[in-house]
Amino acid sequence: MRGLSLVAPLLALAAGALAFAPRAGAIDTLRKRITVDFGAVPCMTRIDRSVDPVVELSWSIDEEESYPIPDDEVVGGRTHQLLAIARQDAGALPTWVSQTDIDATAAVVTDFGTPPPEDIWTQAPAWPSDSWTRVTPDDPRIEITFEAAAMGASWDTTGIPEGAWQLIGYTYDPPVNVSSRREGLFKVVDDDGDGPPALFIEPKDVALTMEGRDLELDACIDAAAGSSLSAYIGEVVGGGAEIEWEQVELSLDELPARGDFPFAVQIPWGAGGQPLRAYRVRLDVEDPSGAVYTAYSPRVYQVSEDPDGPPPDDESGASPCACRADTKGTPAASLALLALLAWRRRRAG
């Protein structure tokens, strides 16, 4: 089964929780949190609400929690909850759902600081109410047992906006709460329509890539015909909360309206480092109406320097071009491909 995604943001998330939870029970703070494991899932799952708005969800856990929980822990802790987000995010997610959870923790945990609004789902400016939803309730949450995990949950998508939704497994275990992301999307539509665009980059482990080379990945899409794609890379520094994105060359044979497709992004000259530098890949899909959806690679990729440097005809270190790919074969796309082939021939020479 796939490992948890976005490891660096998850560590940053836990570190942030530790910062405002210096409890006397340091052992509890350091105790392993049991996360939701969604396993291997389809890259894109379409939900047509005109057929059935309810989707059945499943997950697993690698071990059970111990119950009853100690008296000095928060009532209702050591539990799971499912959330869903309407956009992907390359950084850490909020670690608290509501003020109610914070008040319950403050009543038990000594020297408990006040989490900032951006760390609380119901208060975070970056997460308005139409950008996330509870799939299962805050009370009661789901006990972390094999039996409870085997029961799964039903998600009624009635009332949420059309478009892409990513499932989040939330472990409520104050003072350190953690999240794990399902590595695939649900695309919610009505009457089998196109709906807003949806795009997901498949998790792929690549040991190492080198500047000036292609990084080959896979993705899936569900968007109106005629949509276009743009590619970017961004260096991940620290927890990766703030990433500066650089548009890069995108190569692919064909962009379908729905389905899986391979693609490659070229790592620009000068992007490598010794020690290695870490990058995340971003793809933007824009449909003919102008609606844009952004996908981020679940994995971070290590880039090394090329000891030989760029080819003689490219001493500037600049990427030859930054291209867009369309779901319809356009003259611009053909010219971009010819330019790419010509550049590669010059480089090979």
What is the per-residue pLDDT across 155-179, written as a single tens digit (0 to 9) for each? Answer: 999 999 999 999 999 999 999 999 9
Please give the mean pLDDT across all residues of the chain: 86
> What is the pLDDT averaged over residues 333-345?
38
Query: Helix, strand, or coil here: 259?
Result: strand
Q: Are strands 185-189 and 277-286 parallel, antiparallel or unpaired?
A: unpaired
**CB-hemisphere CA count at 13 Å for 330?**
15
> What is the pLDDT averaged over residues 75-85?
97
In angstroms, how far is CA 248 from the centroid of its own chain?
20
Rounded CA-CA distance 145/147 in Å is 5
* Inter-residue contact 285 to 293 (CB < 8 Å): yes
Weakest mean pLDDT among 50-59, 163-172, 207-216, 240-249: 240-249
126 against 24, higher pLDDT:
126
pTM of the model as a whole: 0.82
- Give the pLDDT band of residue 23 (cuts 50, 70, 90): very low
Rounded CA-CA distance 71/252 in Å is 57
Q: How high is the pLDDT of residue 239?
A: 66
Spell out the residues 6+ positions from residue 199 whose beta carbon is closer than 8 angstroms to its own.
164, 185, 219, 220, 221, 222, 223, 229, 283, 285, 293, 294, 295
Weakest mean pLDDT among 104-118, 125-139, 270-284, 313-327: 313-327
222 against 27, higher pLDDT:
222
Percentage of the residues of the chain whose pLDDT score is greater than 90:
72
Q: What is the DSSP string of 58-122?
A: --B-SSPPPSSPPTTS-TT-SEEEEEEESS--SSPPPSB--HHHHHHHHTTSTTPPPPPGGGBTT
Q: Which of 81, 11, 45 is nearest to 166 (CA)?
A: 45
Task: Output phi, psi for 195, to 5 deg.
Answer: 65, 180
Within the chain, strands assigned E span 44-48, 54-57, 79-85, 132-134, 142-143, 153-156, 163-172, 178-181, 185-189, 198-201, 209-210, 214-222, 228-235, 245-248, 250-251, 258-266, 277-286, 292-296, 301-304, 324-326
Q: Is the pLDDT of residue 241 over 50?
A: yes
Domains and CATH numbers, the chain: 7-189 (no CATH), 198-348 (2.60.40.2550)
CA dihedral of 153, 154, 155, 159, whole degrees rounded to 10: -140
Which neighbouring-strand residues pair with 194?
none
Q: Which of 152, 174, 158, 155 is nearest to 39 (CA)?
A: 152
Q: How far is CA 41 from CA 1, 162, 211, in A?
A: 9, 21, 32
Q: How high is the pLDDT of residue 110?
A: 86
Query: Helix, strand, or coil here: 261?
Result: strand
Q: How high is the pLDDT of residue 16?
A: 47
Percentage of the residues of the chain whose pLDDT score is greater than 70:
81
- Altogether, the residues listed in the chain come to a count of 349
Rounded CA-CA distance 291/227 in Å is 9
Name residue, tokens 């679940």.
298
* Inter-residue contact 161 to 291 (CB < 8 Å): no
The separation between the first and the last C-alpha atoms of the chain, rounded to the nearest angstrom, is 43
Weakest mean pLDDT among 135-144, 212-221, 337-346: 337-346
- Give the pLDDT band of residue 129 (cuts 50, 70, 90): very high
Q: Are strands 44-48 and 185-189 parallel, antiparallel or unpaired?
A: parallel
Rounded CA-CA distance 190/194 in Å is 9
Q: Is the pLDDT of residue 187 over 80?
A: yes
Query: Helix, strand, or coil here: 11?
Result: helix
Rounded CA-CA distance 38/45 in Å is 14
pLDDT one-digit tens code per residue, 192-238: 999 999 999 999 999 899 999 999 999 999 999 999 999 999 999 87
Rounded CA-CA distance 37/59 in Å is 6
Q: How high is the pLDDT of residue 314?
A: 56
Q: How high is the pLDDT of residue 346?
A: 40
